[in-house]
Amino acid sequence: MHDEFGSVIEEAITLELNVSDLYFLFYKLFPDDSEFWWKLAMEEQNHAALLKTVKQMSRSELQLPKEIVPSGRNELATSNKKLLQALEDFENYPDRTKAFQFALEIENSAGELHYQSFMKYGTESRLLNVFRKLNGDDINHADRIRQYMNQHNIPEAV
């Protein structure tokens, strides 16, 4: 596996797992919204599992679409640092409104947007179709968070 590809995919996997950890924290902290957070947390773990599959496949002779992994590690690493800090902050100072606002922000970050874009608009191939089937409806997190916020009168960040 190419070293740069390997470090980017590892960072992308870490991002998905960190987002999942954050959503599991929200699940524990905000019982009124626990079902919503649980579903998103599980979907993020699914994203990480799919990326782990990509990592394994990259070791084979299988031709992977170039757009399957983000092009740079730096934005992913920055998002991961932000997520780790948020985990600590929310653990110490739970705030339901800020939790939703932060989740919306993170779902619009580079790594999450890239994943979403690949699943929706990636170059058509048998491999992409397999990933889409495995991924199922585990997309559109930002839209779903925004919709939930609107339904529950949770303001978006200004």
Q: Is the pLDDT of residue 58 over 50?
A: yes
* Terminal C-alpha separation, the chain: 43
Listed residue (13, 29, 47, 53) closest to 141, CA to CA: 47
Query: Under 8 Å CB-to-CB from 73, ≥6 apart: which residues?
Result: 4, 7, 8, 11
pTM beyond 0.85, yes or no: no
pLDDT digits (tens, 9 = 90+) for 10-47: 888 898 899 999 999 999 999 999 999 999 999 999 88
pLDDT digits (tens, 9 = 90+) for 112-123: 555 555 555 556
